[in-house]
Amino acid sequence: MVSTSVRDRIAQYQLTKKMEAGKEPTNSVVVRRAFLHAKRGDLFRKLLSAVHHRQNPVEDEDYDDDGLLGEVVGRRAERGRMKDSQQQSFRPSYQELATYDAFSTAYGFPSRSDFLDACLDEFLPTMPSGGRRGR
């Protein structure tokens, strides 16, 4: 499961690569590139922090300067749907899957999906602005 934004950016990345090189990378190759980018940049702690912030957004009125109430990890901060996500299929090798799971667990990500979504979000370029034109 990845966010809708990441899913759209995967498709845009694949199209861009196809136009540049004549070959479109598979979903598994894009995930692999995103993981390697995060590993080379030692970004996993930063990505975990971003995941926690997305799941528990903090507003000014939520600050507890004295720490009297403590932090409730995983508490939903708003009503409604928890995640804006869609399924994105990919076929990693057994070794890739074991590596993704090992890193996800070692750094304390809530799930493999959260881990890979964070890696992809960091790696993929932002969508071009302006939107699509109707024909």
Q: What is the pLDDT of residues 104-120, one digit of tens each?
A: 999 999 999 999 999 99
Q: How far is CA 113 from CA 21, 28, 87, 117, in A?
A: 29, 14, 9, 6
Domain that holds residue 42: 2-57+87-123
pLDDT level of residue 74 (50, 70, 90 thresholds): low
104 in any annotated domain: yes
25 in any annotated domain: yes
Count: domains in the chain: 1
Residue 52: the pLDDT is 81
pLDDT for 57 beyond 60: no
**Span 80-92, mean pLDDT?**
71
76 in any annotated domain: no
**How many degrees, rounded to 5, is the angle at CA 101 between CA 14 and CA 51?**
70
131 in any annotated domain: no
133 in any annotated domain: no
**Percent of the chain beyond pLDDT 90?**
59
C-alpha to C-alpha distance for 104 and 20, rounded to whole angstroms: 32
